[in-house]
Amino acid sequence: MKTALVSTLALLISSAIAPVAHAQDSQATDQQLAHSVRVAEARSGVGMSHVFVFAHSGRVTLVGWVPEREHVARAEQSAMSVPGVTSVDNRLSPDGGSLGAH
């Protein structure tokens, strides 16, 4: 009886902890994926100083601006080349520098 109670408690506790551990693992994976995308884009010559990269379950969102129009397409291509990326929502603008001209 005591063994059955301990086994049941252990099962209940482990099933309660598993979703939290999975959430932490997926958050870490999302952070790693976003970092990998930033590295790939920087290596391809995309100006990344005003770009934010968000990742969730393989979906990547790029937000911000880049110094040249060609960098918008290059950023998307670089992001798609990263293993684990399933889609890219490219919200980059090619002329953030004009903000300082006002």
pLDDT tens string 25-75: 566 699 999 999 999 999 999 988 899 999 999 999 999 999 899 999 999
Q: What is the dihedral of CA 27, 75, 42, 28, to 10 degrees?
A: 0
Tokens of 80: 């798609």
pLDDT for 22 equals: 45
| Residue 12, in any domain of the structure | no
| Residue 89, in any domain of the structure | yes
| Residue 38, in any domain of the structure | yes
CA 1 to chain centre: 48
| Residue 14, in any domain of the structure | no
The whole domain housing 33 covers 27-101
Closest CA to 95 of 67, 75, 70, 72: 67
Q: Measured in Å, how far apart are the chain's first and last C-alpha atoms?
A: 77
| Residue 74, in any domain of the structure | yes
pLDDT surpassing 90 at residue 12: no
pLDDT for 86 equals: 96
| Residue 7, in any domain of the structure | no
Q: What is the CATH number of the domain that holds 66?
A: 3.30.1340
| Residue 50, in any domain of the structure | yes
Total of domains in the chain: 1
| Residue 3, in any domain of the structure | no
* Contact status, residue 90 vs residue 76, Cβ threshold 8 Å: yes
The angle at the Cα of 88, spanning 84 to 91, to the nearest 5 degrees, equals 150
pLDDT for 95 equals: 77
pLDDT tens string 78-94: 999 999 999 999 999 99
pLDDT for 102 equals: 41
| Top-confidence residue, 15 or 72 | 72
Tokens of 18: 């598993």
